[in-house]
A and B are shown apart, each in its own frame.
Chain A
Amino acid sequence: MTGRWAAALITLYPRAWRERYGDELTELVAAMAGDHPSRYGRLRLAADLVRGAYDAHLQHSRSDMNPALRRGIIDGLAISAVLATVLVLSNVVFPAGPTESDNDPEYLVQIFGAYLVIAALLALIGARARRRWDSEKAGVLAGAAAGLVMALALLVASLVIDNAWLSIVSQQHDKKVAFEASGWTSMRAYLNVRTLLGALVVVPFATFVGGFLGAVGGRFWKPPQDSAAPVSWSKA
């Protein structure tokens, strides 16, 4: 039983990593699972394995890629996964009523709040990169990469949602009004073209804003003056 879920989670690790450490890790998980027979204990082991897989991908990413850029891409992907989930929930699972518009005050506040959170995350990504690599450029690069990845991921998510759940999406008030005013005859074609044309502006804009916010975050959260002395384990 342990072998099955552990083996499944270990496949999350990069192949090269698995070839080197996979057998040992499997053996260790089996031994530790014997010490943690409870469901909570197994969950903790599983969570640690997933986090370890994430770190292994970071470690084994292409070594010739700028580390700040790589970090920005990975952070951008992580945030995109959350945003894509929110998009599916708000457009497909719990869609707004046929008379509700994004311009309603209730939704405007939610959308504004979401933008604020995203801006704060981009600044945080830049600040962390600046702090870690002690370079202003690292903050800009990480923020820009995260912004670019998020814009591209949301573009893909929007296309998937609009095409896979067109019957639900086409009932949205704003889309119906815009489609009727457009003179187009195909809702699917209209939504896809509008999304792709919007991406031409949104993708470069998100990259620029990401870089800008990364730089701002780096300015506010500079590296410590002396980070060489290991005053605590966490600095090792």
Chain B
Amino acid sequence: MARMKFVCDAERCIECNGCVTACKNEHEVPWGVNRRRVVTLNDGVPGEKSISVACMHCSDAPCMAVCPVNCFYRTDEGVVLHDKDVCIGCGYCSYACPFGAPQFPSQGTFGVRGKMDKCTFCAGGPEENGSQAEFEKYGRNRLAEGKLPACAEMCSTKALLAGDGDVVADIFRTRVMTRQKKGAEAWGWGTAYGNKEPGSHGQGAQDGQGNQYGKQVQQGGQQ
């Protein structure tokens, strides 16, 4: 089996934050901690792109490299996990991570930084699989339940894919081949969700003056 991986399809993500909500609900993540969040580029501009970001479970994880107490470990499936009993909450991993995945809950009167918390790929932690201790520290262990991460399974547009790297890559490759478009061309509902006419943006979205966003983007691209 290949490594477990996330892929977010920017053409499909509609910034609904369903993945964020699913994650928070599934693991009862405390207030102020977001293991997953949706980032939008060119927000409000036609053609804006959103992606859902969390720990990417890097093959050569910088958080593991900089951790002074060596609290990180990698499972056989390539999921990067950490031991909260060893973590000292120093925050080095937060500086090292290019995705901003490590989160630190504020604890105590003076907002003392607590132990690091991050996406576990719904694989729990070093405690016994499915135990209460594991749930309280790391959340639910869905992989051990034969399930995939809640964020991906909850994604309404299937923009967020999770699972075996080979399978996920195959699914994404099929989509890209079917779209037969790239970059600014690949914009619009029809492109993302399937359309009988290749190259068409489908009905497209219209503003109050009857202008079609798809056409505007295409014209803008030709200038």
A, B bound: no
